[in-house]
Amino acid sequence: MPFDLSKEAIDVKSVADEAVKDDNVLNELLDGLLSTKDVLRYNSFKVLHLLSEERPESLYHKWDFFAVMLNSDNAYHKLIAIRLIANLTKVDTNNKFEKLFNKYYNLLDDSVIIAGHITALSGKIVQAKPKLQKQITKQLLNIDKTKQKHKDLIKAGAIDSFSEYFENVKDKKKIIKFVQEQLKSTSPKTKKKAKEFIKKWNISTS
């Protein structure tokens, strides 16, 4: 491999370009995700994340690799999978995410970092898969029914996601009610997001 992923500074774009041309390089990056060496793991993730954002079709055939990572006991592995899968939904022509839906959203019960990323990435998934809008909205509106210990905090991500597709929602009442309730949130971050949402969409607070 012409690149040393264990070095602090790498040219992420160059490695990504190489991975598109050479499956061996791509497989090295996938192996790097599972490494116990922080720099190697992080560099591998940076390259794969760039690919998932800019050239998702080059990673789609590795979907099952990331899906398996959702089962990991390692929080970092789960976080990687959550982020990459969200980016790959825009090229998910085989509806693999639909089969993974429950497993993905059951992770709202996981750590606050994992759950927070899921709520924040949900808007991106809805934009890629509009047919899942109602299902995903239901998951976000029902955060209080999860086992999550930091429910108020992860609602900030839900509000951001709602804002990404709010204009395309036919029945906006439940989302508006949810956001209005967060004006009394114990999380300053969530309360701020609620105020921003209400201002952006010109919603009455009375």
Are 149 and 67 contained in the same domain? Answer: no
Whether 204 has a pLDDT exceeding 90, the answer reads: no
Task: Over range 120-133, report the average pLDDT.
Answer: 98
Whether 90 has a pLDDT exceeding 80, the answer reads: yes
Q: What is the pLDDT of residue 206?
A: 65
Are 160 and 206 contained in the same domain? Answer: yes
Are 89 and 102 contained in the same domain? Answer: no
Using pLDDT thresholds of 50, 70 and 90, give the confidence band for residue 136.
very high
Q: Count of domains in the chain?
A: 2
Q: What is the pLDDT of residue 51?
A: 98
Tokens of 126: 């809805």
Whether 165 has a pLDDT exceeding 70, the answer reads: yes
Are 122 and 182 contained in the same domain? Answer: yes
Task: Over range 104-122, report the average pLDDT.
Answer: 98
Q: What is the pLDDT of residue 78?
A: 97
CA gap 184, 173 in Å, rounded: 18
The DSSP element (H or E) to which 60 belongs, if any, is: none
Q: What is the pLDDT of residue 4?
A: 87
- What DSSP character marks residue 143? G
Q: Answer with the one of 44, 74, 94 that is the final residue of a domain.
A: 94
Q: What is the pLDDT of residue 2?
A: 63
Are 9 and 40 contained in the same domain? Answer: yes
- What DSSP character marks residue 92? -
Are 83 and 121 contained in the same domain? Answer: no
Q: Answer with the one of 94, 110, 140 that is the final residue of a domain.
A: 94
Are 61 and 106 contained in the same domain? Answer: no
Neighbouring residues of 201: CB distance < 8 A, sequence distance ≥ 6: 163, 166
Residue 92: name the closest of 118, 122, 129 by CA: 129
Name which residue leads in pLDDT, 3 or 206: 3
Residue 82: name the closest of 57, 58, 101, 54 by CA: 101
CA gap 9, 12 in Å, rounded: 9
Are 85 and 100 contained in the same domain? Answer: no
Are 111 and 59 contained in the same domain? Answer: no
Q: Answer with the one of 75, 94, 113 that is the final residue of a domain.
A: 94
Whether 109 has a pLDDT exceeding 80, the answer reads: yes
For the entire predicted model, the pTM comes to 0.96
Task: Over range 28-47, report the average pLDDT.
Answer: 96
Are 103 and 143 contained in the same domain? Answer: yes
Q: What is the pLDDT of residue 1?
A: 54
Are 67 and 138 contained in the same domain? Answer: no
Q: Give the domain extent around 75.
A: 1-94
Angle between helices 96-106 and 133-141 (to 10 degrees): 0
Distances in whole angstroms, Cα of residue 44 to Cα of each of 38, 57, 78, 174, 196: 10, 18, 15, 40, 35
CA gap 26, 20 in Å, rounded: 7
Are 123 and 48 contained in the same domain? Answer: no
CA gap 115, 106 in Å, rounded: 9
Q: What is the pLDDT of residue 166?
A: 98
